[in-house]
Every structure is written in structure tokens, then in C-alpha cells.
């Protein structure tokens, strides 16, 4: 209302010495009060606390970190914050670390493998330890980096002995899924593979290779696809051409993209074709039809990474990888192979 507002002092941030002066004590005493150390005279302590609260003083984290050589903060580097895959991992790390009094700072590399190491190094220098979620960089780069950011935890990449590792056993997971489909009578299954450089995609491929060797009766056709909705959406032609009665998508996003397309094409899921995803993202259970997928407890994966990392911070050496095996989550998008299916697919092919 009034037009002469009092402009707050242009934020010349309070320092510890300001508080000390106001309280008529030394910096050290203020510091002790702040950190709850060596029993300071309660009267003085209270006075200091009052002043701090009154003027709203907050210690400079930067100075504190520098002096302590530690910040009670860890950094997490993720390739892409918009990938739901990573959110749960992130939350898992976050929750677990917070419970131990650690702050968490996140850096997104925007899927830019080149800048990844630099970002990691930078954030590591402001924190006490690092969590790298599914780093995209090459293996030599990764190993070189780990040498310099210790202690660090790496999620979903194998490393040398210089970091804690937590990972998902994608090979086993995709085999479980293939087996589910085989059990339903499908013998011609398409696999929509993800990004070529993706380690987790390679794991799935390796798993399927083994599976083929063990089950000659089922044919698994790999269709290079991608990792997003649109990739799944675009894959329809290839799927149709492959004449598969069931498809395993690289992940839930791809599966949902394909399902969306199938709806447009008038192909029914699961009556005409079964579709399964991977990851069990939150939306998977609400899609129509609800998506059969492989579920991993990503939160626990993250929490586990933190626990191991914490050991490292405390100097305990512990270098066994924690491996998480995905669990089959059967929903409505997969169903037994039916004779009608062939007709449908055939009909589509001739009409095309």
C-alpha cells in the first residue's frame, strides 16, 4: 500500500563474526553453539541462539565444507531426469541418505555423454561422495573417472574395483518374461530392443541369446526400436511384419507407445497380440489394458547403493555388487496364444 517500502539491505549475508559481535562473544563460541559442541554456558548459548534466530543467520555451507573437508552432502548424477526409471532410484537414495543426515544434490547431464565426467567431477567437489546412475560414458572414461571421485556408487554399470555397484539383472529379467510368454503358448515373440549403447539393453540381448539356446522351440525376433513412447509407436510396422503373436518391449514407455498405436490400428491387446513392458513404471497399472511388465524395486536399489556408499565413506571396504532381480508382474496386456491371432495378423498383412 504505502509506496516507500523499506528495501532490505542488499543481502550482505550475515557472517559468524556478526553474530559473535552482537552476542559479545567470540566466533568460536558461536560456532560451538551452532554445532552443539562442548557445553557452552547455557545463558550465553541461549543468547546466541536467540540472536541467530532473530537475524536469521545461516552459516555458509561453502565455508563450512571447506573448513571441515566434508559437507554431509552427496551428489547424484543422472542422465535424464525425465526418465521415470530414475526417479524411484533417486528417491531411494534420497530417503536413505536423508535418514542418515545427508543432503542430496542432483545433477542432470541432459543425456550428454560428453559432459558427464565433467559434471560428475564438479558435483563431487562440492560433496562427500557420488552416485552415478546408469552413466552413459564409455567404460575407459568411467574407470578413469571413478579413480578420481572415490567414494562413489555406480548403478547399472559394472566397474572395476573402484566403486560400489548396485545393479539390476536385466538378463534374468528378460528371460523370466520370455518364459511367461512361452508358458502362454507364444512361439514367435518380438523383442523391441533399446538404445544400442545402453548397457541394460545389451544385458537383455545377452539374456535372450541364452534363452534361445535353451529353448529352440521359441523364436525371438529382435527389432531395433529405442526407449521412448514414440519409438514404440513407430514400431508397429516392424512388429506386424515379424508376424509375432507377442512382444516384449525394451521398457514400459515403448510398450505403451506400441499399445497406443495398436489401438489406433484397431488391433486388440491382448486378444490379437500380447504386449509386455519392463520396469513397472507407476502408470503401467493404469494403462488400458494394464501392462504386464517386469518390476524392480528401484527404490530399494537406490537405498542399497546408499548403504554401501556410506560404508565407503566411513572407510569400510565393501566391494560386492548388489544385484536385484526383476519380478514378473502379470496384468492384462498378455494372454494365451489363440488361433484367431494368426488370422488377425494374416488379415492385416494381406490388407496392407
- Please report how close the Cβ of residue 251 comes to DNA at its closest, in angstroms: 41
Q: From the list DNA, a copy of itself, none, pick the one residue 311 interacts with, judged by a Cβ distance below 5 to 8 Å according to partner type.
A: none
Crossing angle, helix 27-35 and helix 42-55, to 10 degrees? 90
List the interface residues with a copy of itself, window 58-87 (CB under 8 A).
58-63, 65-66, 71, 81-82, 84, 87
**Candidates 119-127, 193-201, 219-227, 334-342; binding stretch for a copy of itself (CB under 8 A):** 119-127
Q: Is 206 in the site for a copy of itself (CB under 8 A)?
A: no
Name the minimum Å distance from CB 265 to a copy of itself: 11
With respect to DNA, which residue has the nearer C-beta, 18 or 80? Answer: 18
Query: Smallest gap, in angstroms, from Cβ of residue 332 to a copy of itself?
Result: 9
Q: List all residues 6 or more positions away from 71 whose beta carbon is below 8 Å from its beta carbon.
A: 61, 64, 65, 103, 126, 127, 128
Assign 3-state DSSP to the chain and report helix, strand, coil percentages, each to 5.
50, 15, 35
For residues 83 and 281, is the Cβ–Cβ distance under 8 A?
no
| Residue 282 partner contact from DNA, a copy of itself, none using kind-dependent CB cut-offs of 5 to 8 Å | a copy of itself
Distance between CA 70 and CA 101 in Å, rounded? Answer: 13
Angstrom distance (rounded) from CA 3 to CA 11: 21
The answer to whether the bond into 270 is cis (omega within 30° of 0) is yes
Contact pick of 153, 256, 276, 309 for a copy of itself (by CB under 8 A): 256
The reply to whether 243 sits near a copy of itself by the rule CB under 8 A is no
Q: Which residue has the cell 567414494?
A: 151
- Give the rounded distance of the alpha carbon of 241 from its chain centre: 34
Residue 98 interacting with a copy of itself (CB under 8 A): yes
Pick the closer one to a copy of itself by CB: 10 or 140. 10
Report the C-alpha gap between 352 and 348 in whole angstroms.
6
Could you say whether residue 35 binds a copy of itself (CB under 8 A)? no
Half-sphere exposure of 246 (CA within 13 A, CB side): 29
| Per CB under 8 A, 167 contacts a copy of itself | no
- Closest among 254, 304, 244, 247 to 279, alpha carbons compared: 254
Give me the residues that bind DNA (CB under 7 A), please. Answer: 13, 15-17, 24-29, 31-32, 34-35, 37-41, 44-45, 59-60, 63-64, 66-69
Q: Answer left, alpha or beta for residue 348, where phi above 0 means left and psi between -120 and 50 means alpha.
A: alpha
* Positions that interact with a copy of itself (CB under 8 A): 5, 8, 10-11, 56, 58-63, 65-66, 71, 81-82, 84, 87-88, 90-91, 94-95, 98, 103-108, 110, 119, 121-123, 125-126, 144, 147-148, 150, 161-162, 229-230, 232-233, 256-257, 259-260, 263-264, 282-283, 285-290
Amino acid at each position: 500500500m504505502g509506496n516507500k517500502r523499506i528495501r532490505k539491505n542488499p543481502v550482505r549475508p550475515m557472517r559468524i563474526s556478526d553474530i559473535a559481535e552482537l552476542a559479545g562473544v567470540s566466533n568460536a563460541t558461536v560456532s560451538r553453539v551452532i554445532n552443539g559442541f562442548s557445553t557452552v554456558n547455557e545463558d550465553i548459548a541461549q543468547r546466541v541462539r536467540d540472536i541467530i534466530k532473530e537475524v536469521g543467520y545461516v552459516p555458509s555451507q561453502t565455508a563450512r565444507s571447506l573448513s571441515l573437508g566434508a559437507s554431509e552432502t552427496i551428489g547424484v548424477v543422472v542422465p535424464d531426469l525425465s526418465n521415470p526409471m530414475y526417479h524411484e532410484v533417486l528417491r531411494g537414495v534420497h530417503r536413505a541418505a536423508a535418514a542418515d543426515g545427508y543432503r542430496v544434490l542432483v545433477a542432470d547431464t541432459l543425456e550428454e555423454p560428453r559432459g558427464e565426467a565433467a559434471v560428475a567431477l564438479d558435483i563431487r567437489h562440492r560433496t562427500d561422495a557420488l552416485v552415478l546412475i546408469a552413466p552413459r560414458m564409455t567404460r575407459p572414461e568411467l574407470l578413469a573417472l571413478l579413480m578420481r571421485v572415490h567414494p562413489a556408487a555406480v548403478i547399472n554399470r559394472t566397474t572395476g574395483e573402484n566403486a560400489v555397484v548396485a545393479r539390476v539383472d536385466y538378463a534374468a529379467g528378460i528371460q523370466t518374461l520370455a518364459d511367461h510368454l512361452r508358458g502362454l503358448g507364444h512361439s514367435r515373440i518380438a523383442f523391441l530392443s533399446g538404445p544400442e549403447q545402453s548397457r541394460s539393453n545389451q544385458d537383455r540381448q545377452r539374456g535372450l541369446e541364452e534363452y534361445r539356446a535353451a529353448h529352440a522351440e521359441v523364436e525371438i525376433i529382435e527389432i531395433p526400436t529405442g526407449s521412448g513412447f514414440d519409438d514404440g509407436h513407430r514400431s508397429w510396422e516392424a512388429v506386424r511384419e515379424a508376424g509375432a503373436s507377442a512382444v516384449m518391449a525394451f521398457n514400459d514407455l515403448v510398450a505403451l507407445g506400441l499399445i497406443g498405436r495398436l489401438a489406433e490400428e484397431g488391433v486388440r491387446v491382448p486378444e490379437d497380440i500380447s504386449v509386455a513392458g519392463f520396469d513397472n513404471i507407476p502408470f503401467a497399472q493404469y494403462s488400458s489394458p494394464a501392462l504386464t511388465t517386469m518390476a524392480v524395486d528401484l527404490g530399494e536399489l537406490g537405498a542399497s547403493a546408499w548403504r554401501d556408499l556410506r560404508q565407503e565413506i566411513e572407510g569400510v571396504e565393501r566391494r560386492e555388487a548388489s544385484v536385484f532381480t526383476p519380478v514378473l508382474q502379470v496384468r492384462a496386456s498378455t494372454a494365451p496364444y489363440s488361433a484367431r491371432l494368426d488370422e488377425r495378423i494374416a488379415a492385416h498383412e494381406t490388407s496392407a
